[in-house]
A and B are shown apart, each in its own frame.
Chain A
């Protein structure tokens, strides 16, 4: 017998996505993949918001999710813009070669 899918399941899913996203940002070397990991984090947030909205019956969460989607677009635009600027000067998208500034 299947258990009904509840808010808790969504929360677990979103946490998992969050962790995958964080790991991706911190470990992946290709900047395009880093950008995609950021999208994962934002979508983890969206899953949370929608699930909670359903759970509490408050619509603000869904509105919030739309804001987050908008943000994700803006972030991607800025991020790609910066990446292109770097690419013009350097011709690489690998984080390993972004090495002029020592950590």
Chain B
């Protein structure tokens, strides 16, 4: 008889347990503490403490696995697996959530919507992502997906008094539950062909049937459609610009990097796991979606005047690049995906962070004109934004260059020269809209108004995103070591 809850199980899910614990603690403390600024600070601090403890438990897993030569640590009879892939993505989620928590405080104060639920939901979303990255059982993955998604629906609509936020949340919700339903339907088909919810068992059944089987095709179609929704890949991207536009900016920063990465890790677990045997069934579909995302993201971003919408379309294009890594299908492609998403966490959060800085008083800070003359008003913010935009555009010496470099290398190594060329051309075209922002910041007319003030948390987040973005561009070796984890034997 197998033990119900062993020490290994505990070790494996401890980060998630901590997240849940601190999430609940935040909710509870909000109830207990008196209303006021000091309490709100305490809640933010408690959230960060939770991230700190989670980081430590992840670090312990990391050092344990590295001392053992990277075995896959399975827990709960194979329902949860801690391996290189899980760890690499969990570090990403941790970074994204930590940064989001840091930049939220001032923003929420400005919006007058500060409360503990916000931080609780932030942690619960990360809890869900943990199980997306490390779940190897359909039920666990499904639970993780929904925990994350439900938290995000509420977070996007967190500015209750604002119609834009309400509408964004509703649109995101409707399309989100539709995609969840599709994914779930795919899960049910996978369960049907294997009679088990364990990915390892599903893999055997899929391999037995082959790519031509109609049930496999049904599973791939529904899972693909659902997951492409979640990563906002064209033509399933319609929700993203609205959700980004209407949602609270720190949430959008978190959503754009973490939720995308989480959907990607689920995609990897499924498509490179059980469905790897049916590659022919999804390869063509993925190529089409990747190219469509590049085209739609790049072309639509050219005409955006709202910076958040612009970043939303840019995020769609970035999703296209990451998908190209999946298309390459080799070890380098998998590394490329990890490198790309990890650098994306920092550069994209950084870009949103500058938008958070611009949100003050009545100024929305989303329109491209709000960036006008930023160089004179606040040189530090302008230079940082420049760095993030260069990184998003994929120019050295920023980490974004290394990310694109890896994707192109993976495509070249797997012989997809034409795809690499198309990706390269879109990369060059994409620079146009990033440089439109640069032009406004450095060349535009200076806006009246006091210099931007940054809270302590925002400053920490600014410095860390900038240091990582520039540092990994100049010396990417540590990043590449982390990206090697998923392919270590």
Q: Which residues of A contact B (CB under 8 A)?
A: 7, 11, 14-15, 18, 21-22, 25-26, 31, 34, 38, 41-42, 44-45, 48-49, 51-52, 55-58, 60-61, 63-64, 67-68, 71, 74-75, 78-79, 81-83, 85-86, 88-90, 98-101, 103
Q: Is the CB of B157 within 8 A of A82?
A: yes
A90 to chain B minimum Cβ distance, whole angstroms, is 6
Report whether over half of chain B's contact residues are helix, strand or loop; otherwise say mixed.
helix
Segment among B54-62, B165-173, B390-398, B439-447 that sits at the interface with chain A: B165-173
Which residue of A75, A88, A103 contacts B238 across the interface (Cβ within 8 Å)? A103
Residue total for B at the interface (Cβ-Cβ under 8 A): 44
Most chain B CB inside 10 Å of its own CB: which residue of A14, A61, A101: A101
Question: In the assembled complex, which residues on chain B have CB atoms less than 8 Å from the CB atom of A56?
Answer: 192, 195
A68 to B170, CA, bound (A): 21
A79 to chain B minimum Cβ distance, whole angstroms, is 6
Question: In the assembled complex, which residues on chain A have CB atoms less than 8 Å from the CB atom of B161?
Answer: 89
Which residue of B150, B192, B195, B242 contacts A101 across the interface (Cβ within 8 Å)? B242
B184 interfacial contact with A, CB 8 Å: yes
Question: In the assembled complex, which residues on chain A have CB atoms less than 8 Å from the CB atom of B218?
Answer: 15
B154 interfacial contact with A, CB 8 Å: yes
Q: Which B173-221 residues sit within 8 Å CB-CB of chain A?
A: 173-174, 177-178, 180-182, 184-185, 187-189, 191-192, 195-197, 218
A74 to B245, CA, bound (A): 25
B143 interfacial contact with A, CB 8 Å: yes
Nearest chain A residue, comparing its CB with the CB of B246: A101
Nearest chain A residue, comparing its CB with the CB of B195: A56
B6 to chain A minimum Cβ distance, whole angstroms, is 21
Nearest chain B residue, comparing its CB with the CB of A22: B178
B163 interfacial contact with A, CB 8 Å: yes
B139 interfacial contact with A, CB 8 Å: yes
Q: Which B137-160 residues sit within 8 Å CB-CB of chain A?
A: 138-139, 142-143, 146, 150, 153-154, 157, 160
Q: Is the CB of A79 within 8 A of B246?
A: no
Q: Which residues of B contact A (CB under 8 A)?
A: 138-139, 142-143, 146, 150, 153-154, 157, 160-164, 166-171, 173-174, 177-178, 180-182, 184-185, 187-189, 191-192, 195-197, 218, 222, 238, 241-242, 245-246
Question: In the assembled complex, which residues on chain B have CB atoms less than 8 Å from the CB atom of A86?
Answer: 163, 166-167, 170
Known contacts A52-B191, A61-B191, A64-B197; A82 and B173 CB within 8 A of each other: yes
A85 to B164, CA, bound (A): 11
A7 to B195, CA, bound (A): 13
A68 to B180, CA, bound (A): 11
Question: In the assembled complex, which residues on chain B have CB atoms less than 8 Å from the CB atom of A60?
Answer: 139, 191, 196-197
- CB<8 Å pairs between A and B, sample of 14: A25-B178, A44-B181, A45-B187, A52-B192, A67-B139, A79-B153, A82-B157, A82-B169, A83-B170, A86-B163, A86-B167, A89-B161, A89-B163, A98-B167
B312 to chain A minimum Cβ distance, whole angstroms, is 11
Question: In the assembled complex, which residues on chain A have CB atoms less than 8 Å from the CB atom of B245?
Answer: 101
Nearest chain B residue, comparing its CB with the CB of A68: B184
Q: Is the CB of B191 within 8 A of A85?
A: no
Question: In the assembled complex, which residues on chain A have CB atoms less than 8 Å from the CB atom of B157?
Answer: 82, 85
Which residue of A41, A45, A78 contacts B173 across the interface (Cβ within 8 Å)? A78
Known contacts A98-B167, A103-B238; A44 and B185 CB within 8 A of each other: yes
Q: Is the CB of B192 within 8 A of A75?
A: no
Known contacts A41-B181, A48-B192; A98 and B171 CB within 8 A of each other: yes
Question: In the assembled complex, which residues on chain A have CB atoms less than 8 Å from the CB atom of B196?
Answer: 58, 60
